[in-house]
Amino acid sequence: MFGDRLKELRKEKHITQEQLAAIIGVERSSIGKYEGKDKIVPSDDVKYRIADFFGVSIDWLMEKTDSRHPVGSALTPDEDEILAAYRELNDAGKKVIGDMLRMFLANPEYRKVAPATSAI
């Protein structure tokens, strides 16, 4: 349900209900109601703010799809999993991953298409 996915996103970002409430402009008790047993779903406006903050689609929040990302993003399930794992990292972890990606991209052996070379 919506509340389960909201709680999952909030835990991944390591933020409290109070912090999320302040970010999206609602009362802390509202976050508790969304995540609680009553399965209260917020207004469309609040759903949009939540989706924007977490970078997910409303369809995913509402369990209409298993892909977290908007239709136009076309991520594969593996890419979706990698992106979700990356978002769980702190800044130091994200820097390490970024450095590793740049290292791999600098080596043509690991690229899908080798960078163009200039003709002499």
Average pLDDT, the chain: 85
Q: For the whole model, what pTM was predicted?
A: 0.60
For position 118, what pLDDT does the model report?
Answer: 47
Instruction: Name the more confident of 31 and 86.
Output: 31
pLDDT tens, residue by residue, 70-84? 655 566 778 878 888
Task: Give mean pLDDT, residues 29-44.
Answer: 91
- Six-digit token string for 84: 């979700």
- Per-residue pLDDT tens for 4-33? 999 999 999 999 999 999 999 999 999 999
The three-state (H, E, C) secondary structure of 1-56, written as one string: CHHHHHHHHHHHCCCCHHHHHHHHCCCHHHHHHHHCCCCCCCCHHHHHHHHHHHCC
Give domain status of residue 41, yes or no: yes
Please tell me whether residues 12 and 59 are part of one structural domain. Answer: yes
User: Do residue 41 and residue 97 come from a single domain?
Assistant: no
Which of 36-45, 49-58, 77-86 is predicted least confidently? 77-86
CA distance 19 to 60: 22
Query: Range of 99's domain?
Result: 75-110
Do 38 and 58 have their domain in common?
yes
Domain total of the chain: 2
Identify whether 16 is part of a domain: yes
- Report yes or no on 118 lying in a domain: no
